[in-house]
Amino acid sequence: MLVHRVDRRTSPSARSGFTLLEILVVVAIIVMLAGVGSYYIMQRLEDAKLNTAKMGVDRVSKAVETYKLNYGEAPESLAVLTQAGQNGGPYLKDEELVDPWNQPYQYDPNGSQQQPPGFKPDVFCHGPQGQVIGNWTHK
């Protein structure tokens, strides 16, 4: 009786898994794609925070203007906007006085940055790269 032996090492159907090199190549490609994707996601997140800061500056600035209409003068500080008063209020909640980077919005009742100076009070914050976001810097 003649027995035909098949060498499993050279047979194409005998291969049942991936080599370590193939797995490492796939992992490297996934890591590269994740790195590129996370860079763009983080940039979009930073852009969203900048837009949120601009909207926050506008919201606080409008609350200051409303206070000024009700009382005839600008508030001494932004904290006054969170309290009820004789002519209205509160105009804002405490958490609305904090920018997206968890820093309080800044306030200058003299409006030195406005054109003309003193036109209305300045409300602003500083972004992560030091850029100033104020009620005079965007429209």
Domain ranges of the chain: 32-134
Report the distance separating Cα 29 and Cα 35, nearest Å. 10
- The 10s digit of each residue's pLDDT in 91-139 is 999 999 999 999 999 999 998 888 887 788 999 999 988 899 999 875 5
Give me the chain's average pLDDT, please: 87
Distance of CA 29 to the CA centre of its chain: 29
Sign of the C-alpha dihedral computed for residues 105, 88, 80 and 120 taken in this order: positive
Q: How high is the pLDDT of residue 20? A: 93
Report the distance separating Cα 134 and Cα 127, nearest Å. 10
Confidence of residue 23 (pLDDT cuts 50, 70, 90): very high
Residue 28 has pLDDT above 90, yes or no: yes
CATH number of 32-134: 3.30.700.10
Residue 7 has pLDDT above 60, yes or no: no
Residue 22 has pLDDT above 90, yes or no: yes
- What phi and psi values does residue 50 have, to the nearest 5 degrees? -65, -45
Confidence of residue 8 (pLDDT cuts 50, 70, 90): low
Q: Which two tokens stand for residue 82?
A: 């969170």
Q: How high is the pLDDT of residue 4? A: 61
Residue 66 has pLDDT above 70, yes or no: yes
The fraction of the chain above a pLDDT of 90, given in percent, is 65
- The 10s digit of each residue's pLDDT in 73-104 is 999 999 999 998 888 789 999 999 999 999 99
Residue 39 has pLDDT above 70, yes or no: yes
